[in-house]
C-alpha cells in the first residue's frame, strides 16, 4: 500500500506501467535537472523494475544517466550506500535516489550510465581478474558501510538433495545412475556437510550474483570494473562469491584461464586489509559439493550435459574430503 492507504501504483502493473505513470513525477521531483526519460526493456532484468536513459544537467554540466524504479529495499540500500565519487569505485555512482515518489512508497535510483557491454562480451583473463578485484573492493566498501549482520536462512539442503535424487531416479538425466549413487552418498554425509557450512565464518557482505553478466566497465577506454545488480547482497562467507563465480564455468573450465577464483579473491581481500581467517579451502569445498548436488533440481537453468558432468566430477572428487 502507498502512503495514505492508497494502492501502490504497481499493484496491477509491471515496472513499465509504473514508469509510464510516475516518470513525469520523477522529472518534476528532480527540479528540471532530469530530461525526458527513454524507458526500455533489458535482457538482464528479471525483476519488476523499469529502466530508462536520460540526461542529468547540473552546474553547467550534462551527464548520461540511467533510472531504475521501483527498486527493492536491498538493491536500493546498497546501490545508494556504496555510491562514491571515486572514478575507480566498484559500484555505480548514484546521482539521486529516494524511497518515495508522488506520495507513494516507491524506491528509485538515478545512477551514472555505463556504456558498452557487460564483461561477457570479450571475456578474457583480464576481465576475470578485474571482476574478482571489483568483488573484493565491493566487499571492503560494504564492510566499512555496515557491520556484519546475521546471514539469511540456509537453503533446506535436505529437501533439495532429496529432490535431486528423485529427479535422478525419474528423469532421463544424463548419467542418471551415477547421479542416484552420488546423491545417496551426499544424503548420508549431509548432517556433517550442513554443520560445517553453518559453522563457516560469517565475515563478509557478499554480492550474491557475481558473474560477468553483472559487471560493466566505466568508460570506453577499459575503465574500472563496476558491479551492477545489487539486489542479492547478503552476509555470509566471502568464499560464497568466489564459488558462485567459479561454478558458472564448471562446464567450460577453459573460460577460467587457469585462474582460481577462491585463492585469487582471498589474495585481493588481503591486499585490501580484509581477513581470510579459517580453513576457507574446506569451506569452499563444502559449498562446491552442496551446490553440485543440487544441480538436478535446476535442470531448466543448469541442465547442460557438460555442466552436469562437471558437477558429478566435483562431488566424486571432493565429497570424500569434506565428509571425513
Query: What are the residue ranges spanned by the domains of the chain?
Result: 3-112, 125-322
* Phi–psi pair at 46, nearest 5 degrees: -120, -10
Domain 3-112: top CATH class: alpha beta
Checking if the pLDDT of 65 tops 90, the result is yes
Give the rounded distance of the alpha carbon of 144 from its chain centre: 19
Q: What is the model's pLDDT at position 220?
A: 64
The 10s digit of each residue's pLDDT in 222-271 is: 789 999 999 999 999 999 999 999 999 999 999 999 999 999 999 999 99
What is the C-alpha separation between 173 and 298, in angstroms, rounded? 12
Q: What is the model's pLDDT at position 41?
A: 67
* Phi–psi pair at 297, nearest 5 degrees: -70, -25
The 10s digit of each residue's pLDDT in 159-192 is: 999 999 999 998 888 999 999 999 999 999 999 9
Q: What is the model's pLDDT at position 1?
A: 30
What is the C-alpha separation between 161 and 296, in angstroms, rounded? 9
Q: Pick 108 or 15 by higher pLDDT.
A: 108
Q: What is the model's pLDDT at position 300?
A: 79
Q: 231: number of CA atoms within 13 Å, CB side?
A: 15
What is the C-alpha separation between 43 and 127, in angstroms, rounded? 21
Q: Pick 84 or 116 by higher pLDDT.
A: 84
Q: Which segment of 133-137, 270-274, 304-308, 318-322 scores lowest on mean pLDDT?
A: 304-308
Q: What is the model's pLDDT at position 274?
A: 97
Q: What is the model's pLDDT at position 246?
A: 98
C-alpha cell at 136: 573484493
Q: What percent of the chain has pLDDT over 70?
A: 92
Q: How confident is the model at residue 3 (pLDDT cuts 50, 70, 90)?
A: very low
Q: Report the largest interatomic distance among the alpha carbons of the chain, rounded to a whole angstrom.
A: 68
SS3 per residue for the chain? CCHHHCCCCCCCCCHHHHHHHHHHHHHHHCCCCECCCEEECCCCCCCCCEEEEEEEEECCEEEEEEEEECCCHHHHHHHHHCCCCCCCCCCCCEEEEECCECCECCCEEEEECCCCCECCCCCCHHHHHHHHHHHHHHHHHHHHHCCCCCCCCCCCHHHHHHHHHHHHHHCCCCCHHHHHHHHHHHHHHHHHHHHHHHCCCCCEEECCCCCHHHEEECCCCCCCEEECCCCCCEEECCHHHHHHHHHCCCCCHHHHCCCCHHHHHHHHHHHCCCCCCCCHHHHHHHHHHHHHHCHHHHHHHHCCHHHHHHHHHHHHHHHHHHCC
Checking if the pLDDT of 294 tops 70, the result is yes
Q: Which residues are bridge partners to 50 per DSSP?
A: 69
Q: How confident is the model at residue 10 (pLDDT cuts 50, 70, 90)?
A: very low
234-236 vs 225-227, strand pairing mode: unpaired
Q: How confident is the model at residue 49 (pLDDT cuts 50, 70, 90)?
A: confident
Q: Which residues contact 74 (CB under 8 A, 6 or more apart)?
A: 230, 231, 232, 233, 234
- Provide the whole-model pTM: 0.91
What is the C-alpha separation between 243 and 258, in angstroms, rounded? 15
Q: How confident is the model at residue 69 (pLDDT cuts 50, 70, 90)?
A: very high
What is the C-alpha separation between 244 and 259, in angstroms, rounded? 14
Query: Region 268-295: what's the mean pLDDT?
Result: 97
CATH number corresponding to 125-322: 3.90.1200.10
What is the C-alpha separation between 13 and 17, in angstroms, rounded? 5
Amino acid at each position: 500500500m502507498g502512503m495514505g492507504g492508497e494502492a501502490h501504483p504497481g499493484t496491477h502493473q509491471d515496472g513499465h506501467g509504473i514508469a509510464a505513470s510516475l516518470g513525469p513525477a520523477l522529472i518534476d521531483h528532480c527540479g528540471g535537472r532530469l530530461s525526458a526519460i527513454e524507458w526500455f526493456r533489458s535482457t538482464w532484468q528479471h525483476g519488476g523494475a523499469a529502466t530508462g536513459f536520460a540526461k542529468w544537467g547540473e552546474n553547467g554540466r550534462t551527464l548520461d544517466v540511467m533510472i531504475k524504479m521501483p527498486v527493492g529495499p536491498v538493491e536500493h540500500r546498497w546501490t545508494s550506500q556504496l555510491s562514491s565519487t571515486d572514478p575507480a569505485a566498484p559500484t555505480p555512482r548514484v546521482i539521486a535516489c529516494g524511497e518515495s515518489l508522488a506520495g507513494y512508497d516507491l524506491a528509485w535510483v538515478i545512477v551514472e550510465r555505463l556504456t558498452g557491454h557487460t564483461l561477457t562480451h570479450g571475456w578474457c583473463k583480464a576481465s576475470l581478474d578485474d571482476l574478482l578485484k571489483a568483488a573484493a573492493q565491493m566487499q571492503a566498501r560494504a564492510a566499512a558501510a555496515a557491520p556484519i549482520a546475521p546471514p539469511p536462512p540456509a537453503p533446506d539442503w535436505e529437501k533439495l538433495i532429496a529432490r535431486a535424487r528423485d529427479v535422478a531416479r525419474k528423469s532421463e538425466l544424463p548419467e542418471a545412475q551415477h547421479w542416484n549413487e552420488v546423491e545417496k552418498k551426499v544424503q548420508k554425509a549431509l548432517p556433517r556437510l550442513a554443520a560445517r557450512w553453518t559453522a563457516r565464518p560469517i565475515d563478509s557482505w557478499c554480492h550474491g550474483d557475481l558473474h560477468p553478466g553483472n559487471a560493466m566497465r566505466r568508460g570506453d577506454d577499459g575503465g574500472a570494473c563496476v558491479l551492477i545488480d545489487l539486489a542479492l547482497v547478503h552476509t555470509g562467507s566471502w568464499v560464497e562469491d568466489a564459488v558462485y563465480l567459479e561454478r558458472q564455468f564448471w562446464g567450460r573450465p577453459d573460460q577460467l584461464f587457469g585462474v582460481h577464483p577462491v585463492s585469487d579473491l582471498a589474495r585481493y581481500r588481503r591486499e585490501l586489509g580484509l581477513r581470510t581467517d579459517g580453513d576457507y579451502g574446506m569451506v569452499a569445498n563444502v559449498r562446491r559439493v552442496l551446490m553440485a548436488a543440487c544441480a538436478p533440481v535446476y535442470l531448466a537453468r543448469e541442465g547442460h550435459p557438460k555442466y552436469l558432468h562437471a558437477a558429478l566430477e566435483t562431488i566424486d572428487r571432493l565429497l570424500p574430503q569434506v565428509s571425513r
